[in-house]
Structure 1
């Protein structure tokens, strides 16, 4: 699968979120081509897909490149 977002921009966004929310969230990056079982389990069909889990359950999801929506989710679940 190919990204429509330049890797440098993706890395920048992830690092900014990591810095702000590192003490409240755990961030994981998964290569869905390498980890097909994970993409199947969580029904990931679009890149990027951001999923918020609470207590092991999925509580929110943002599919596609929407940094504002991702930030809103982070603020909501802090």
Structure 2
């Protein structure tokens, strides 16, 4: 069994109005050192072992459902879980 952490973020070339609003709010709260905020999504998946390559499965899941490949990038971390 695998535990997969998926991080989805807007591409650098895509404007992030939500991130800009958070940046402005932090600056107005006197956190002047905060230069930029980008908002993203974090998901954890538990995937059972199968005959398919785990990276192939994760890439399909991300491109078909979790991320919009036109405007978002994704990365992931895989941990193998020990079942007791």
Q: Tell me the TM-score normalized by structure 2.
A: 0.23
Q: Which structure dedicates a bigger proportion of its chain to strand?
A: 2
Q: Which structure dedicates a bigger proportion of its chain to helix?
A: 1
Q: Tell me the TM-score normalized by structure 1.
A: 0.24
Q: Which one scores higher on RCO, CA 8 angstroms, separation ≥ 6?
A: 2
When Rg is computed on C-alpha atoms for both structures, the one with the higher figure is 2
